[in-house]
């Protein structure tokens, strides 16, 4: 009897831990609704560019020969972001429970990782650019534009990125990560989610840094 007591007590503890592990806390729709609303808000700037707006665009894409491509690209991005906003709502809708978790969460993981890594890399490169390290950002040379005008435009673009666009990417990514995290059923699953997002962000930013040190760029950022 004396030997069975500790074993029984230990079994009870493990049973309670397994029970707690299997219970997902009550959903926090605030994260889903916030991610949905911010995605639509962020979409608005792409819609503005898609219909011909130019505020916030780098000098190179405001040129006449690039405008058609810029409009088309932002139209496509706008559609993708609207689909993404609706996709986020599935996290708090019964239909979301009928979709395999991997299928539902994989696009949100990709969106969160890309957005946050874009913000981190963008902040770093734009700050370096404004402090004189002009090689940190690959602003294209625009034919017919004098060096002084191009320099002023590039500085303004870098400043707009730091104050407006990179914070938007950061907020978007964090909200997507939090909205998806609350959907996951177990504490272990949520920890795995958080670690995977952090690792994904680190891999992308390290890759970008390596390319930059090699005088290569995979984006204007």
- Structure-block tokens of residue 87: 């996709």
Look at residue 22 and tell me whether its pLDDT is greater than 60: no
pLDDT at site 162: 97
Angle between helices 101-130 and 166-183 (to 10 degrees): 160
What is the Cα–Cα distance from 97 to 94, expressed in whole angstroms?
A: 5
- pLDDT the model gives residue 144: 81
- The model carries a pTM of 0.82
* First and final C-alpha spacing in the chain: 69
Lowest-pLDDT choice from 139-143, 156-160, 164-168: 139-143
pLDDT score, position 20: 46
97-121 residue pLDDT tens: 788 999 999 999 999 999 999 999 9
Q: Above 70 in pLDDT, residue 91?
A: yes
| pLDDT at position 23 | 45
For residue 92, pLDDT over 80 is answered with yes
Share of the chain above pLDDT 90, in %: 60
pLDDT band at 56 (very low <50, low <70, confident <90, very high): very high
**Burial class of residue 133 in the structure, from the number of CB atoms within 10 Å of its CB (0-12 exposed, 13-18 middle, 19+ buried):** exposed
Q: What is the mean pLDDT of residues 135-142?
A: 84
**DSSP helix/strand/coil, 162:** helix
| Token pair recorded at residue 192 | 């795995």
């Amino acid at each position: 009897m004396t030997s069975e007591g500790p074993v029984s007590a230990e079994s009870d503890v493990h049973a309670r831990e397994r029970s707690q592990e299997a219970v997902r806390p009550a959903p926090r729709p605030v994260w889903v609704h916030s991610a949905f609303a911010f995605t639509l808000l962020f979409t608005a700037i792409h819609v503005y560019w898609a219909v011909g707006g130019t505020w916030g665009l780098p000098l190179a894409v405001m040129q006449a020969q690039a405008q058609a491509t810029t409009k088309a690209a932002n139209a496509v991005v706008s559609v993708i972001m609207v689909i993404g906003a609706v996709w986020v709502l599935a996290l708090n809708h019964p239909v979301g429970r009928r979709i395999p978790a991997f299928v539902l969460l994989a696009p949100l993981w990709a969106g969160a990782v890309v957005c946050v890594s874009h913000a981190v890399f963008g902040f770093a490169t734009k700050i370096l650019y404004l402090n004189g390290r002009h090689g940190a950002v690959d602003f294209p040379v625009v034919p017919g534009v004098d060096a002084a005008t191009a320099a002023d435009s590039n500085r303004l673009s870098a400043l707009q990125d730091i104050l407006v666009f990179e914070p938007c990417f950061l907020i978007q990514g964090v909200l997507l990560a939090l909205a998806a995290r609350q959907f996951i059923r177990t504490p272990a699953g949520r920890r795995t989610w958080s670690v995977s997002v952090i690792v994904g962000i680190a891999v992308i930013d390290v890759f970008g840094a390596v390319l930059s040190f090699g005088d290569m760029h995979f984006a204007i950022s």
